[in-house]
Amino acid sequence: MPIKVQNDLPAKKVMEEENIFMMDENRATEQDIRPLEIALLNLMPLKEQTEVNMLRSLSNTPLQVNITFLTTSSYVGTNTAKSHLDQFYLTFEDVKDRKFDGLIITGAPVEHMEFEDVAYWKELCDIMEWSKKNVTSTLHICWGAQAAIYYHYGIKKIQLDHKLFGVFSHNVHNRKEPLIRGFDDIFYIPHSRHTTISAEEVWKDERITVLADSDEAGICIAMAKEGRQFFVFGHPEYDRMTLDQEYKRDLSKGLDIRMPKNYYPDNDPDKKPVLTWRAHANTMYTNWLNYYVYQATPYKVEDIGK
């Protein structure tokens, strides 16, 4: 996909080194088509790493996509340079009068806190409420999915005894839904979280359609409002080494962390992890952009919500 980004975004160089087609501002202006306007609310502390992961995942269709990076104004983390945020990010206040074809809300490392205790919870609620009328389809990832299914449908998160950590197999349901078109009966997605949601509550809520679940990881992908809302409770965008980095980071801090399951060959952290989820991750993001954003959004972006 020709993703339009600012010429000097660091993630652009990484994508080019991976031979992923990135369209800079100059080339984009020469194409006489309307790009899809996608907002990415990045709640992760290491924003540049998340940028690379998400842009890689969105890079597999011929559609032109204009990415707008968003961050919260009610809380500013210290893990990403202020200069980077100032140059490449906007806040909700900057875009609240705009419309977007799609919105992605990432996860965040705040699972041990009650939602209402998170510093930017009110701002996030304002964004999720705004998305109902100003975004064609919203994709919520990991903690972002837990926050959204709680805000929109009242389903609370549940603290786990141990961190759900590793790469898990998932079963497909309702396979006629376009988001999972092309999926095998069983597919893999990484998970890295301390909380979950009640599968029983999700299954019995007639407003929500379950598209994939796991015997070990629980509900993985769910849909509401005919594709205007998606909840993905894992991390399909993770690259090969993300779980490895998290595991060794926590070990170095002396934390009680178990080795990620189904990840290292022979459970040997010195061996290169086998990448088993990239194809389905790419398919999911491509299907979302094509069927629920491009095919569903009006030609004039200002007509979204009418």
Active site residues: 142, 235, 237
Q: Which two tokens stand for residue 101?
A: 């074809």
All residues at 6 or more sequence positions from 209 whose CB lies less than 8 Å from its CB, including other chains: 174, 177, 222, 223, 224
**Tokens of residue 183, six digits:** 């999926």
**What crossing angle do the helices spanning 47-57 and 278-287 adopt, rounded to 10°?**
80
Q: Are 5 and 12 in contact (CB under 8 A)?
A: yes
Q: How big is the chain, counted in residues?
A: 306
Question: Do residues 84 and 55 make contact, with C-beta atoms less than 8 angstroms apart?
Answer: no
Residue found by looking up tokens 């705040």 in the block: 110
